[in-house]
């Protein structure tokens, strides 16, 4: 499947499996929050869920064998039969706004938010990287808006994409009067600029935060596994709508981040998902922030 376009239906089925079946395999999710300063902003990583996927090369190492994936995992000292992904969100506290970036599946996110000292109605803006269920599932709680006072912001292309997804019909219907779209490259709220990261979904974006010359880049689903995505960024990913463009974006972004040494947030890396990308020979490695 290397160099091929993965159909929307296949991508959606895989994303839904991540947000449903895999979630059911896990025990009750434990809330967690981790805060730090970025210039004048207070940033809080919020834990939502954790998924364990089998090493069956349907998602990681598409077109390769489980044995090849196993070799990569073994070299990193990780489990070779399964691949664990965290699902986390990022909260940005500005002087007049409380901004949530992505919402997970709606696992422990609300409890993590409470642990950080906030209520759902405190959130003024929800920024969505893309519309997969493990990023927008937490927009609803008991069929209603989980963040009732928030404006929900996503790229115009991604909103169009979400509206074609029958499995998001309830979400779309509930949030549509609260959505404001933007074009990638726009400053979405003060100090946070959207960045096009093509390939994962048609309108997938990251968010660059800047305060007092300090930077943090939420890279969304440009990468998933803190091991496989960095050691073999050239391997197709089952979640990417377009495998070829996804690979190009992943490699280019990792090269740029390794050179700039910029602080990043990766929502599927081990919680809290904040750290740096470093070059490691002909590939990359993850260095969690201290």
Give the tens place of pLDDT for each residue, 184-227.
999 999 999 999 999 999 999 999 999 999 999 999 999 999 99
12, pLDDT greater than 60 = no
Could you state, in order of their start, the residue ranges of all structural domains in the chain?
8-288
Q: Do the Cβ atoms of 284 and 273 come closer than 8 Å?
A: no
Using the predicted structure, report yes or no on whether residue 130 has a pLDDT greater than 80.
yes
Rg for the chain (alpha carbons), in Å?
18
Q: Is pLDDT at 149 greater than 90 in this prediction?
A: yes
The predicted model scores a pTM of 0.92
How much of the chain is helix, strand and coil, in % rounded to 5? 30, 30, 40
Alpha helices for 88-199 (secondary structure H): 109-115, 133-136, 156-163, 169-175
The pLDDT, as a whole number, for residue 276 is: 98
The pLDDT of residue 6 is above 60: no
Taking a C-beta distance cutoff of 8 angstroms, is the pair 233, 222 a contact?
Answer: no
* Residue 290 binned pLDDT confidence (cut-offs 50, 70, 90): confident
pLDDT tens per residue across span 59-100: 999 999 999 999 999 999 999 999 999 999 999 999 899 999
Report DSSP state, residue 185: T
- For residues 141-164, average pLDDT: 97
Which pLDDT score, from 0 to 100, does residue 75 have?
A: 97
Lowest mean pLDDT: which of 31-35, 59-63, 158-162, 262-266?
A: 59-63
Q: Looking up tokens 């300090």, which residue turns up?
A: 214
Beta bridge partner(s), residue 144: 141
Distance, in Å, from the CA atom of 182 to the CA atom of 154, rounded to the nearest integer, reads 6
- Tell me, what DSSP letter sits at residue 97? -
The pLDDT of residue 148 is above 50: yes
Q: What is the pLDDT of residue 5?
A: 37
Q: How far apart are the first and last CA of the chain?
A: 38
What CATH code is assigned to 8-288?
3.60.15.10
Query: Cβ(193)–Cβ(201) under 8 Å?
Result: no
Contacts of 282 (CB under 8 A, 6+ apart): none
**pLDDT band, very low/low/confident/very high, at 14 (cuts 50, 70, 90):** very low
What mean pLDDT value characterizes the chain? Answer: 92
Structure-token match 């993850």, residue found: 286
- Mean pLDDT, to the nearest integer, of 40-69? 94
Which token pair is 1? 């499947």
Q: What is the pLDDT of residues 156-189, one digit of tens each?
A: 999 999 999 999 999 999 999 999 999 999 999 9
Instruction: Give the pLDDT score at 21.
Output: 46
Tokens of residue 133, six digits: 């269920």
Question: Cβ distance 120 to 140 under 8 Å?
Answer: no
Buried b (16+ CB within 10 A) or exposed e, 187-218: ebbebbbbbebbbbbbbbbbbbbbbeeeebbb
CA distance 158 to 168: 13
């Amino acid at each position: 499947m290397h160099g091929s376009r993965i159909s929307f239906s296949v991508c959606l089925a895989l994303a839904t499996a991540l947000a449903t079946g895999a979630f059911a395999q896990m025990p009750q999710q434990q809330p967690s929050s981790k805060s730090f300063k970025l210039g004048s902003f207070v940033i809080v990583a919020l834990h939502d869920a954790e998924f364990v996927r089998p090493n069956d090369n349907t998602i990681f190492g598409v077109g390769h064998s489980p044995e090849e994936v196993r070799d990569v995992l073994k070299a990193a000292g990780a489990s070779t039969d399964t691949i664990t992904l965290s699902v986390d969100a990022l909260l940005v506290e500005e002087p007049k706004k409380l901004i949530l970036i992505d919402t997970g599946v709606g696992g422990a996110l609300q409890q993590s938010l409470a642990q950080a000292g906030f209520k759902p109605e405190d959130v003024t803006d929800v920024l969505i990287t893309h519309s997969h269920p493990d990023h927008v599932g937490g927009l609803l709680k008991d069929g209603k808006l989980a963040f009732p006072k928030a404006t929900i912001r996503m790229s115009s292309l991604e909103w169009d994409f979400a509206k074609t997804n029958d499995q998001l019909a309830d979400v779309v219907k509930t949030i549509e009067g609260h959505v404001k779209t933007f074009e990638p490259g726009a400053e979405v709220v003060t100090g946070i600029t959207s960045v096009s990261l093509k390939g994962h979904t048609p309108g997938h974006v990251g968010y660059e935060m800047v305060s007092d010359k300090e930077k943090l880049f939420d890279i969304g689903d440009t990468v998933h596994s803190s091991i496989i995505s960095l050691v073999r960024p050239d391997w197709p990913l089952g979640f990417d709508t377009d495998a070829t463009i996804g690979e190009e974006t992943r490699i280019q972004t990792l090269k740029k981040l390794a050179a700039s040494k910029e602080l990043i947030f990766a929502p599927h890396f081990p919680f809290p998902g904040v750290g740096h990308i470093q070059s490691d020979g002909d590939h990359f490695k993850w260095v969690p922030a201290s």
